[in-house]
Structure 1
Amino acid sequence: MTDNSPLTLLGTGAMGTALGRAWLAAGHPLTVWNRTPARTAALTAEGAVTAGSAAEAVAANRLVVVCLLDDASVGQALADADLTGRDLVNLTTGTPADARARAAWAEERGARLLDGGIMAVPPMIGTPGAYVLYSGRADLFEEHRDTLAVPAGTRYTGTDPGLAALYDVALLSAMYGMFAGVTHAFALVRREEVAPGEFADVLVPWLHAMAGTAHGTAERLASGDYTGGVVSPLAMQVAGAGTLLRTAQEQGVRTELLRPFLDLMRRRLEAGPATHGAEDIAGLVDLLRP
C-alpha cells in the first residue's frame, strides 16, 4: 500500500470521527458513511467524501474500516454491499465468537477481514497512548499496517480472528475491576475532611505500583507454581480482609464492590489451607474456571 492509500470508514460517531480526522490529517483520501448522514458533516468539512449508502462507500475503496455500534449493525450495514476483493477491518466492539463468525462471513463473500479492539477513548486517538489490538490474517495486517498505525499504535495478537476481541474484553474487565476499587476507595474517604484531589494524588501512584504485580501472576500461572516469590501470602490477605470490611462498616460504606473478591480469596484458602495459604492470588483464576 502507498503511504497515502485511500480508505473507507463506515461509522462516524465519536470514535469514527476521531479516526477519520487522523487519516485525513495524514493525507489519506477518505470516503465515509454513517446511518445518520448528518454525522458525517465534520469529516466532510475536513475533506472526506460522503457516500450515499454503505454499499457505495464500500465500492469506493479496497480498504474498508468499520466502526459501528455492535456486530448486528455491521451485518446490517454490509448486507447490500459487494464485498468481493475488499479488505475489511472491523473495529466494532464484540465478543471473540462474533469476530470469528464475522471473519467467516466475510470470507464467504469474497473479502478478507481483520478484527480490531480499540484500546483508547476518542480524545486519545492520535496520541502515543492509543493503540489497537488486531487479529486475523497476518498478511492482511502487514499489508495495511502503516495505514492502520496512523490514528493509533498497532499490536497484532495472532491469526485467530477472535483474539483481539478476547484481549479487548479481558483488558476492559480488568479496567472495570480497577474502577470498582477506586469507587469503593473514594466512598471510604467521602465524608471525611479529605479533599478528593488530594486523595487521588495518593491513589494513582499506588495503583500504578500495584499494577506491576500482574507480571508475577502471569509467571505463576505459566509455571504452575503459585507460591514462588510470593510477598503477600493468601493466608495473610484473608486474615486482613476483616479490617477492610470493618472499616467500610465504620464509614457507612456498602461492601458489594469489595466483598465478592474477598469471598473468593476465603474460598481458595478454605479449600486447602496447608497448600493454598502460601500462594498469592494467582490461584483465584482456577476458581473462576471450574
Structure 2
Amino acid sequence: MQNRDAGHTPVTVIGLGLMGQALAGAFLRDGHPTTVWNRTAAKAEHLVAQGAKLADSVGEAVAASPLVVVCVSGYDAVHELLDPLDEVLHGRVLVNLTSGTSEVAGETAAWAARRGGSYLDGAIMAIPQAIGTADAVILYSGPQEAFDLHEPVLRSLGAGTTYLGGDHGLSSLYDVAVLSLMWNILNGFLQGAALLGAAGVDAAAFAPIAKAGIGTVADWVSGYAQQVDDGAYPALDATIDTHLASMEHLIHESEFLGVNAELPKFIKALADRAVADGHGGNGYAAMIEQFRKPVEVRI
C-alpha cells in the first residue's frame, strides 16, 4: 500500500541528541509536520524555531503522528520511554534507529506487535552532518508493508535509504558487520603506522600508500563474496600457504622493531587453522570457514 500523502505525512522524532536533531531537521526541510520530544526540552529550541512542535510528553509525541522515529542511547532507553504507553502505539509504525543487536531487535518487534504497532529496525551508516544528503545510508528491516507505506518520508533522511528484508535483525547485523570491517581496516593501518613509525616514518607519509592499498583490497571484495557464496575458493592470486609466509614476515618485523605483534599473531593463528583444515592450497576467501565457527579455546 502506497502513501499518497507522503509529502505531508506527520512524523514524530523521540530523542534529540546530535543524530536525533539531524533526523528531525531533515524531516522539517522536506516539509513534514514534525513533532519532537526529548528529556531536556532545551535541545528542541532550534527545531521549534524551524517549525517543529515540542510535545509535553512521550505519549503526546507518539500520538501526534502515524510514523514515530526513535533515536536514543540504547534499547533499554527505548523501552523505558515507550513501555508505559501501551495502546498509544496501536496502528502506528515505530522506526527504531537506536544502535543495538539483532537479538534485541527481534524482541522489540514482538513487543511492538503486542501493542498493535508495526516495527522497523534501522541502522544509520552516516554522521549527523550527512543526514538528509546523498551521503547518508540508512538501513531498515521489518515488515515490507510498513516500509513501503513510509518509504517516501524516510527518504528525507538520505538517498541511501535501503530496505533489507522482513527479518527485523538484519539492519543490526549489517551494522555490526560494517563495524567489523571498519575496525579491521583501521587496526591494519595503525599496525602499519606503528611499524613505519619505529623506523622514523611519519604516519602522514604512510597514509597515501595505505589508501592505495585499501583501494586495491576493496576491488577484491566482490570476487571474494562470490567465492564465499559458491563455497569454492580458487587461488586466483595467492594460496593461504603463501599468505602464511608473509604473515611470518609481519610478525618478525613487529618483534624486531619492538612493535606489538598480537594482531599479526592472531591472524596467523587463524590461517594456521585453515591450513590444518585442508585449505592451505585454497585462496584467502577460504578463511571464511574459520570465521563461521566459534572456538572454545582463546588464542
- The TM-score bracket by the shorter chain reads over 0.9
Q: Would you say the 8 A contact 1:238–1:265 is kept in 2?
A: yes
For residues 209-263 of structure 1, the C-alpha deviation after alignment (integer angstroms, 9 at most, x for no partner) is 2022222221112111112x52121010001111111111233210223321221
Aligned twin of 1:154: 161
Query: What is the CA–CA distance in structure 1 between the aligned matches of 2:131 and 2:204, rounded to whole Å?
Result: 26
Change (3 A) 1:74 1:242: same
Match of 2:229 among 212, 216, 222: 222
1:166-205 equivalences under 5 Å are: 166-205=173-212
Offset at residue 192 of structure 1 (A): 3.8
Match of 1:289 among 283, 288, 292: 292
Match of 1:213 among 211, 216, 220: 220
Offset at residue 193 of structure 1 (A): 4.2
Task: Note the residue ranges of structure 2 that are not aligned, 5 or more in a row.
Answer: 294-299
Q: Say whether residues 1:27 and 2:31 are aligned partners.
A: yes
Q: Would you say the 8 A contact 2:90–2:115 is kept in 1?
A: yes
Q: Say whether residues 1:4 and 2:23 are aligned partners.
A: no
Q: Identity, % of aligned pairs?
A: 39
Task: Note the residue ranges of structure 1 that are not aligned, 5 or more in a row.
Answer: none
Offset at residue 166 of structure 1 (A): 1.1
Change (3 A) 1:126 1:200: farther
Offset at residue 58 of structure 1 (A): 0.2
For residues 33-86 of structure 1, the C-alpha deviation after alignment (integer angstroms, 9 at most, x for no partner) is 112222223322322111121111001111000111111111111122211111
Aligned twin of 1:265: 271
The secondary structure found in structure 1 opposite 2:122 is strand
Query: What is the CA–CA distance in structure 2 between the aligned matches of 1:92 and 1:148, rounded to whole Å?
Result: 15
Q: Would you say the 8 A contact 1:117–1:132 is kept in 2?
A: yes
Q: Say whether residues 1:133 and 2:136 are aligned partners.
A: no
The secondary structure found in structure 2 opposite 1:18 is helix
Query: What is the CA–CA distance in structure 2 between the aligned matches of 1:126 and 1:83, rounded to whole Å?
Result: 26
Q: Which amino acid aligns with 1:286?
A: E
Aligned twin of 2:90: 84
Query: What is the CA–CA distance in structure 2 between the aligned matches of 1:192 and 1:48, rounded to whole Å?
Result: 56
Change (3 A) 1:39 1:257: farther
Offset at residue 178 of structure 1 (A): 1.2
Q: Which amino acid aligns with 1:53?
A: S
Change (3 A) 1:122 1:258: farther
Query: What is the CA–CA distance in structure 2 between the aligned matches of 1:18 and 1:258, rounded to whole Å?
Result: 40
Q: How many equivalent residue pairs?
A: 286
Q: Which amino acid aligns with 2:74?
A: D
Q: Would you say the 8 A contact 2:247–2:264 is kept in 1?
A: no
Change (3 A) 1:284 1:124: same
Query: What is the CA–CA distance in structure 2 between the aligned matches of 1:46 and 1:251, rounded to whole Å?
Result: 57
For residues 1-49 of structure 1, the C-alpha deviation after alignment (integer angstroms, 9 at most, x for no partner) is 3213210001111111111111111221111111222222332232211
Query: What is the CA–CA distance in structure 2 between the aligned matches of 1:49 and 1:247, rounded to whole Å?
Result: 60
Aligned twin of 2:256: 250
Q: Which amino acid aligns with 2:38?
A: N
The secondary structure found in structure 2 opposite 1:283 is helix
Aligned twin of 2:106: 100
RMSD: 1.6
Q: Would you say the 8 A contact 1:120–1:130 is kept in 2?
A: yes
Aligned twin of 1:277: 280
Change (3 A) 1:256 1:101: same
Query: What is the CA–CA distance in structure 1 between the aligned matches of 2:212 and 2:48, rounded to whole Å?
Result: 42
1:11-22 equivalences under 5 Å are: 11-22=15-26
Higher mean alpha-carbon deviation, 39-48 vs 235-244, is at 39-48
Q: Which amino acid aligns with 2:45?
A: A
The secondary structure found in structure 1 opposite 2:46 is helix
Offset at residue 198 of structure 1 (A): 2.9
Offset at residue 191 of structure 1 (A): 4.0
TM-score normalised according to structure 1 size: 0.93
The secondary structure found in structure 1 opposite 2:164 is strand
